[in-house]
Amino acid sequence: MEKIISKQSNSVDNVVSIIDARKKDQKTEVKFDRRELDQILQVYSFMVAGGDWRDYAIDHLQDRAVFSVFKRTSEMPLFRIEKDPKRAQKQGAYSVITAAGQVIKRGHDLKQVLKVFDKAIKLVQSD
């Protein structure tokens, strides 16, 4: 086992294993799983087909995962679809947020939250 000796003193009292030090440095990120991404990308593809959305970004942060939707790449996102596990027991982990920061739908089930876009999807499908 490799050991790190503290720079403050040459004593072996302050020895920490490299494995333990690396575990403390690694921070877990919240991520969308495959099922969640499939549901989001299904809505995204319909909105792209309708000409409403053109680009997206996925951010995996320490406290939440964010799927941002853009009309143009250089603009602010039109919507953010967020997964925040800290809200899972209260209001629901999933939310859709506008560019102005207004939460337009929040819930425990991603499929139900994404229904906020159903009206626009039906318009695309009827053509």
- Kindly list the domain boundaries of the chain, sorted by start residue: 34-125
Provide the Cα torsion 29, 52, 94, 31; round to 10°: -20
| pLDDT (0 to 100) of residue 105 | 93
| pLDDT (0 to 100) of residue 16 | 66
Q: Does residue 54 register a pLDDT over 60?
A: yes
Least confident piece of the model among 5-9, 27-31, 90-94:
5-9
| pLDDT (0 to 100) of residue 65 | 94
Instruction: List strands edge to edge, sheet with 79-83.
Output: 55-60, 65-70, 79-83, 94-98, 103-107
| pLDDT tens digits along 68-88 | 999 877 778 999 999 998 888
CA angle 71/121/57 to nearest 5° reads: 35
27 or 47: whose pLDDT is higher?
47
